[in-house]
Amino acid sequence: MQVQFWGVRGYVPTPGAAYLRYGGNTCCVLIRGARGEPLVLDAGTGFCQLGDALLEGPFQQGQGELTVLISHTYWDHILGLPFPGLVHIPGNHLRIYGPDSTRGSLELVYDGMLSPVYSPVYGLAHMAATHDFQPVSTEPFAVGQLTVRALPLTRRAHSPIWAYRVEEAGQSVVYITDVRYTDDTIWRQALAFADGATLLVHSAPYMRGEAVQDYGHSRVEDAIELALESRVERLLLYHHAPTRTDDELDAIVAHYRAELAADGHRLQLDAAREGPIVPL
């Protein structure tokens, strides 16, 4: 498998010279299996550039198939859905997995984004590509040669948040975002879900020493402790705070790498950045 980040920020996009090296788009990750099949985790503003990049292949001819896994329907995880060129080409097929909520299905949420008060494209009925919405569940399913597992990791009935584990040929990528470990049950579920993963992508916009209103996010230290306890090989911090500059991210990574080395841990730690392909 290969992993490539197209959006690494949380909350809102972050433009500006201080954010160029890590990137300023919101959540979007591309995974490709050994046979090249594309699988997308979340569709924030990074999905706009990803979708246009995919036009170099069969999507340009209206022959593309894409699976998108949505963790939850906050704006920073879905805002890019209607914009890439590939969704406006007849014949392309998007299969979108994500949570339904007490306020409506994922399909209704997306259709609401295309209201005329928000969009010049009025509703899903006017989108050229086929959109097939699937409610996510804990039953494993296949995307080509990839196996996908999902797990709800919050108690928020109105808007559940799902973690995903993608596996192929003994390798695994675990994706956990927007989770606050408020009780031991959630922590133990996350430990079991991430156990032995090749790569853990975990939201960590803030550190424990920072006094911020973060709307339910785990901290950098939480992500590291989870990775260590679940015997993960590599951890990429993700969902960076919009105020976190490139230099600040560099300093955070350097600080915790030094701590890990001093304690004799072999965990590979870095912060997710847009652009480079991450081979497993």
The CATH number of residue 160's host domain is: 3.60.15.10
Write out the H or E segment, with its range, that includes residue 66: strand 65-69
Using CA of residue 15, residue 19, residue 21, residue 24, what is the dihedral sign?
negative
Q: Say how far apart CA 132 and CA 152 lie, in whole Å.
A: 21
Enter the tokens of residue 90. Answer: 């007849």
What pTM was estimated for this model as a whole?
0.95
**Number of folded domains that form the chain:** 1
The residue behind tokens 């590939």 is 86
Query: Alpha-carbon dihedral of residues 98, 161, 203, 175, nearest 10 degrees?
Result: -50
Return the bridge partners of 65, or none: 93
Q: Which of 227, 245, 235 is nearest to 272 (CA)?
A: 235
Q: What is the identity of the amino acid at 230?
A: S
Q: Say how far apart CA 154 and CA 185 lie, in whole Å.
A: 10
Q: Are 9 and 217 in contact (CB under 8 A)?
A: no
Return the bridge partners of 162, or none: 152
Q: Are 163 and 128 in contact (CB under 8 A)?
A: no
Structural domain of residue 116, as residue ranges?
2-279
| pLDDT by position in tens, the chain (length 280) | 999 999 999 999 999 999 999 999 999 999 999 999 999 999 999 999 999 999 988 999 999 999 999 999 999 999 999 999 999 999 999 999 998 765 668 888 888 888 888 887 778 888 999 999 998 999 999 999 999 999 998 766 566 799 999 999 999 999 999 998 988 999 999 999 999 999 999 999 999 988 777 667 889 999 999 999 999 999 999 999 999 999 999 999 999 999 999 999 999 999 999 999 999 9
Write out the H or E segment, with its range, that includes residue 254: helix 246-262
